[in-house]
Structure 1
């Protein structure tokens, strides 16, 4: 049987009518970050226009694992992830079960004594942020994952962490934003952010101009080239992550493990349709592009830690992005030609996931695979996002580089981005996420707890 390699189809969202001539805030990007921002802006009464070159959640926001976690996060992200968890709870109460938000618990199984020690250290540090986690001893771990073939393992566990459905979440938030008064325009690429003597003055789109004094760039992998046209440098690269889903599990198979589990490079999530999404948490693929050299110094510390599971390759993006440096029109053509980036998944990585799953959970060895897909993750040198204004460009706000954490953090990030865009004090301290941390002499710190 030939399996489809295209990404999961997100829930559809109806576009608004004509492009507005003016807006209080223009949000660029229709992933979970952009729609959460638009929702908070519209609910607060601001005239909000969201632009998406493809469809809502067409790229990584519908292709991720679906985890909503605090477990093992970089300590700098904990206040933001706590805010996000509260927002997920509120949104679930408002939207209902279709959002798929469930606090089912997340466990990271330690594969070595060194990893177990890191887990214990994280539990201690997280307690200082008001987050209660615990280490499961082997007996407790087997109680929540009775199908495990290996015994004697421990795990980092947060019972309050959870999951949601990526194909539904961002579209449902977008529908809420429209009900609150936002206008959403799909298949409408933002080609250029315009400025005058006072700062941001508008956005040029493929359908015309929008006058505005405030723009939020939440374009994922497309953020850096768009910002470069403003003279704003953002060290951001992209890596390919691959996943697959299975058909529905039997009752016995479903009870073999906790709904969200990471074990030996495998990440598993129970789906609302009865199947499982699984992915590799140990490998990634990065295409070599001009930015790989431009930002090499910033990325070197993290690259060294990623090397065992990182594959570098030349591909279509190598030539395409070289063209962007030569011509602004080349970038504009890419924005309108590549409405949805739908990369081919890493077949070898997924085969390895299936082998490891069969070794770890014999009862799951014969699961029916029904779909596989790839997604491009926007990554920063320190693997935490940029949530920031930009020096020298009044009215510009950047929310990107979520490094694979965007889905879970999305509703919290949307709240603080909306606050930045309207000159309010952010709900959490954003100093660690400022754009200028990558400036000359800046020190890149990578926290590895998992």
Structure 2
């Protein structure tokens, strides 16, 4: 049987108190059955409840068990592939819609925190750090691109300026996005779940969806019950398994690793990140880090294709942390964990409908904190009959991995090795 406990993460250890939620027993009827109580499912539930739908959420483990409760906690705008890639891939109207939505997810997060009083340690400000001249040129182009879509809270930083905000000698410069920022991701999910329940939504934990009976009134079956609904939203992402085979064929779970130091104390923490911004570098396989409310450093990076759990996470990530901050060589690591995100071949999200009443969003490709909150709004709009923005996402190409499920891991790892080599060589 799958282990449905939270991982031994800093987030689980510092989570806000939560009520016990029952498993589904027997038969239930609802307007919308949502599979997955992560950000996509919870965001969808909130928007639907606010518009009068009856909503029931099924969670195989606990709220925020997957990527929503394990990620780096960074509010990063746009998508895993930026708007310029979308502009080259789709037509002008579709690209315009997707570009306009690229900065909406962060606003939704802040609105949820304010409206429902969610305690999740929100801090403003995110830094993209350039290690090479090519990466710095990319950030300059990215700033022009984002400003073309109305996003103006950006500052390019030269080498002396970036050293004022992050005590790392490796960076040539960077870009500061003041609409970025960071949060305690599990507490955000727990707060959103409480908001769902405050509006009359129902969440069942320890209730994995094991079969979907498709039809005019689809039924989702769990080990001890079932839910009949008008609509289903599939929001399991990297933890969905093979419940919907046509979705599994076009995506791949990948693992990323995170460590958290012991408390550093106010003086050392402030010396590393004086303004308490979060940081990610511009490499293909990027490193990301930030401070917690109690002045620990959270540092993440690395990708394991196929989502295997490494035996020694600290051995993988600690050297990356010390490369950025050698002054932490004697600092103890208190927590180390892994979590899965869902990769698509295009690295763009996959959104669509199966038949008339099964909707889905998946494949954030490591860029999910903001996108999932937007996805919930877009899915709710579609169920209300306002499908223009849903259709803009649904029109993005959904490519199968070359070689199918058997070869997707080695092919993806080979591609990542190539781009990592380019990063190291600076071209």
TM range (shorter): 0.7 to 0.9
1:44 matches 2:51: yes
Which of 137, 147, 156 aligns to 2:175? It is 156
Which of 141, 160, 176 aligns to 1:139? It is 160
Moved beyond 6 Å, runs of 4+? none
C-alpha displacement of 1:366: 2.6
Shift of the 142–44 alpha-carbon distance from structure 1 to 2, 3 Å rule, reads same
Partners of 1:224 and 1:235 within 8 A in 2:
no
Shift of the 71–39 alpha-carbon distance from structure 1 to 2, 3 Å rule, reads closer
* Equivalence for 1:299: none
* Equivalence for 2:91: none
> What is the TM-score when the length of structure 1 is the normalising length?
0.75
Structure 1: gaps of 5 or more residues? 288-316, 318-342, 441-445
C-alpha displacement of 1:123: 1.1
Aligned length: 374
Partners of 1:71 and 1:106 within 8 A in 2:
no
Which of 45, 57, 62 aligns to 1:55? It is 62
C-alpha displacement of 1:243: 0.5
Shift of the 380–94 alpha-carbon distance from structure 1 to 2, 3 Å rule, reads same
SS in 1 for 2:227: strand
Structure 2: gaps of 5 or more residues? 1-5, 87-97, 402-414
* Equivalence for 1:306: none
Partners of 1:249 and 1:275 within 8 A in 2:
yes
Q: How does 1:7-406 map to 2 (within 5 A)?
A: 7=9, 8-9=11-12, 11=16, 12-15=18-21, 21-70=28-77, 74-75=82-83, 76=86, 78-96=99-117, 98-103=119-124, 105-132=125-152, 133-145=154-166, 147-150=167-170, 153-196=172-215, 198=216, 200-223=217-240, 225-228=242-245, 234-255=249-270, 256-257=272-273, 258-263=276-281, 265-280=286-301, 283-287=302-306, 344-345=309-310, 347=312, 350-390=314-354, 393-406=355-368
C-alpha displacement of 1:205: 1.8
C-alpha displacement of 1:194: 1.2
Q: After superposition, give the CA deviation of every residue in 1:376-402 in whole Å (9 maximum; x if it has no partner).
A: 111111112112223xx1101011111
> What is the TM-score when the length of structure 2 is the normalising length?
0.79
C-alpha displacement of 1:403: 1.4
- In structure 2, how many angstroms separate the alpha carbons of the residues matched to 1:41 and 1:19? 24
SS in 2 for 1:34: helix
- In structure 1, how many angstroms separate the alpha carbons of the residues matched to 2:296 and 2:399? 41
Q: After superposition, give the CA deviation of every residue in 1:232-268 in whole Å (9 maximum; x if it has no partner).
A: 6640101111111112222222222243112474311
CA RMSD of aligned residues (A): 2.9
- In structure 1, how many angstroms separate the alpha carbons of the residues matched to 2:67 and 2:42? 13
In terms of mean alpha carbon deviation, does 92-101 or 166-175 score higher?
A: 92-101
Shift of the 134–385 alpha-carbon distance from structure 1 to 2, 3 Å rule, reads same
SS in 2 for 1:22: strand
